[in-house]
Amino acid sequence: MTTFKTSDGLFVRKGIIVDFPKFEWRGSKRSQVWEHLYKRNFSWGGPPSPQLLEVFRDQYVVVLSPEPYGRLDATDAGIQKTFAAFKTAYDKGARAFCVKFDDIGLTLDKPSGTYDRFGGSYAKAILHYLKTLNGLLQQLDPANTLYWLPQTYWLCHFELPTFTAEVRALGGLPAGIGLAWTGWAVASRRITETDVCDFLAAYGWKEGWPRGVIYDNYGRASESYALSEAQYFAMDGRDSGLCKHLRGLFDERGSCVGRITYSDYLWNPDAYDPERSLKLACRELGGPSGHRRLLEFLRLYNGTAAFTGSASREELVKEMKSKLVELKRLQEMASAAIREAPLVKRIEAETRGNLADEIKSDVECRFAKAAQMERFGWCDVAVKRATTQLEIDAEVEAAWAEATPLGNFVAFVKRNSPEVAPVPPEEQSEVRFLYDGDRLYLLARLKCPERLQPPGWITGLGKVGDDYVYNWRWQSIELFLDPEHDHTNAFQIIIDPLGRKTDQYLGLQGRGFPPGGLWDSGVEVKVKLLDKEWIVEAAIPFGAFKHVPKSGDVWGVLVGRTGAKGHSLCPVVYGGVRGFHCPEHYGHLKFN
């Protein structure tokens, strides 16, 4: 359209806008400059390099985890320290800021006097902190915007109902502050309009305040309990109507394929088609001559991310090996196809990477996973019907001799490492299952290298609702069940050596279960502590799952254990980026 000016004013020719971005903010965590080619205009965190500020100046969010990490210092001095850091970023051009408290806990700092000043109330302290900090930022420049990523940063978080109720009772989120969070879960398979509205309402957000942003973890790589590999899929499962409630969504550590396709969704979610978007991304990255080979590779790569169904471990390994041989062949063809593509050369120049080498490495990770699955196993256990009444007393009755033992646990050698190794005999575990018409029974014998001595903080752990939240940070056994075996919806039960439990529903909304920690398994638990071993016996009513198994049914199952040394034990090693919270990678519980 032509704009012209006359003595009567400024005129623009009449026209119809046929393509306009639905989301104001379209970007990534630690955005890369090349993304600007795909209408991205936003960067969340990362060092404010001159190049990023040049491209994303108007939508650049400086992100800070206030010190001391793990505790909130809401004194004047603590708030001034955060403001000083933001002032430095402001002087470099930033106008949007976020304080984030994810993975920290609702803990007040005692040495600074914060705990005493606010009477131990985290809600009072954080609301004072946010209101005062936002006031300082507004005095500096009314154009500044403050965002808050709370510790309860997903909708089904254990502590969200009680914490947000206290926040609302104190007046809710301070005026003029926006919220940042991850959706329904830490890594959300789906994000709906209902999820977004419920989260905003929980914190007392009001219309007219800065709209929120979603920190979308689902497509990220390099998670704990997983082999590091990129996610080369086109994102789906995000309602098109999210743009009515959010300023934007942003992905983290996504591959170039994920970043391009996500840009497509953010521009026009109503018209977004994941399959079409994946094809367009391949055209961009593979060029006219290589896009078909790249697309063929990506389809098979994404198809081997998980092995679902009810096949036996032996059948799954055979299927996996066959597909991976073909995947290797396609990877070599795709790598050759993208080497000369102009976009790939630009990305590699900026990131100092090599996309062909990265793809090769990712395929090698798949082979490593397959080898580990074949060597160490897949949780594939038959559950027999109990022939006698079981008493939950942590005594190993004769009836348990009928149950198939699940053992040979393995441990990831270190955090974020693909390497696993057999658990030493002095730390090994054995788990058995039985069932009857009403309940699923669990017996676990968990060895320890030395006698358990509960630390003071674990014995003093308080309840949130009916759960001992964070009991998994010491010794615990974790049971994950997918009763419908849909590889999407799961339930988690955590039991510690003191016999205390935490349970939560990890599935999607709209299925008749309370979210997160509001779900109650009704589990009956008894624990017995021995010298260098603890025994857990538990009974879980099928009514909690609204699903009673019949002979021949298959449930998804994963049994894990956390230890004092911080490692995790798990008989399933073909894990996904969400670790234990990844039902598409669970093993099988087969009811006989």
Each residue's pLDDT tens digit, 429-444:
899 999 999 999 999 9
Read out DSSP for 298-332?
A: HHHHHHTS---SS--HHHHHHHHHHHHHHHHHHHH
Q: What is the pLDDT of residue 223?
A: 34
The larger pLDDT score, comparing residue 195 to residue 186, is at 195
Among 374, 396, 422, the domain boundary falls at 374
Shared-domain flag, residues 441 and 301: no
Residue 182: name the closest of 206, 213, 222, 221 by CA. Answer: 213
What is the rounded CA–CA span in Å between residue 538 and residue 522?
10
Residue 301: name the closest of 311, 309, 293, 313 by CA. Answer: 293
Listed in sequence order, the DSSP H helices in 241-377 are 256-267, 274-303, 313-338, 342-351, 355-376
Among 350, 374, 398, the domain boundary falls at 374
Shared-domain flag, residues 176 and 289: no
Size (the chain), residues: 592
225: pLDDT strictly greater than 50: no
Shared-domain flag, residues 229 and 302: no
On whether residue 12 sits in a domain, the answer given is no
Q: What is the pLDDT of residue 46?
A: 63
Shared-domain flag, residues 366 and 427: no
On whether residue 519 sits in a domain, the answer given is yes
Count of domains observed in the chain: 3
Q: What is the pLDDT of residue 433?
A: 96
Distance from first CA to last CA of the chain, Å, rounded? 71
Shared-domain flag, residues 404 and 308: no
Each residue's pLDDT tens digit, 22-53:
999 998 888 888 998 999 988 898 656 777 77
What is the rounded CA–CA span in Å between residue 406 and residue 409?
8
Cβ within 8 Å of residue 472, ≥6 positions away:
478, 494, 496, 502, 562
| Residue 467 burial class via C-beta count within 10 angstroms: exposed 0-12, middle 13-18, buried 19 and up | buried
Task: Indicate the range of 294-298, 567-571, 588-592 predicted with least confidence.
Answer: 567-571
Tokens, residue 279: 């094809």
Cα-based distances in Å from 306 to 317, 488, 582: 12, 12, 10
Residue 427: name the closest of 412, 454, 449 by CA. Answer: 449
351: pLDDT strictly greater than 90: no
222: pLDDT strictly greater than 50: no
Which amino acid is present at 425? Answer: P
Each residue's pLDDT tens digit, 97-122:
999 988 777 889 999 999 999 999 99
On whether residue 5 sits in a domain, the answer given is no
The larger pLDDT score, comparing residue 421 to residue 64, is at 64
Shared-domain flag, residues 480 and 493: yes
Mean pLDDT value of segment 62-83? 91
pLDDT mean across residues, the chain: 85
Q: What is the pLDDT of residue 132?
A: 98
pTM: 0.83
Mean pLDDT value of segment 351-363? 86
Shared-domain flag, residues 340 and 294: yes
What is the rounded CA–CA span in Å between residue 571 and residue 411?
9
Each residue's pLDDT tens digit, 74-93:
999 999 999 999 999 899 88
Cβ within 8 Å of residue 423, ≥6 positions away:
409, 410, 411, 429, 569
What is the rounded CA–CA span in Å between residue 61 and residue 212?
13
Residue 148: name the closest of 123, 170, 173 by CA. Answer: 173
Q: What is the dihedral of CA 77, 80, 84, 87, to 10 degrees?
A: 180
Instruction: Write out the residue range of the structural domain in which residue 218 sits.
Output: 18-271
Most confident of 309-313, 329-333, 436-440, 501-505: 436-440
294: pLDDT strictly greater than 50: yes
Q: What is the pLDDT of residue 275?
A: 95
What is the rounded CA–CA span in Å between residue 29 and residue 17?
30
Q: What is the pLDDT of residue 455?
A: 73
Mean pLDDT value of segment 385-407? 91
Each residue's pLDDT tens digit, 132-167:
999 999 999 999 999 999 988 988 887 888 899 999
Each residue's pLDDT tens digit, 196-219:
999 999 999 999 999 999 999 887
On whether residue 7 sits in a domain, the answer given is no
Q: pLDDT-derived band of residue 579, with 50, 70 and 90 as boundaries?
A: low
1: pLDDT strictly greater than 60: no
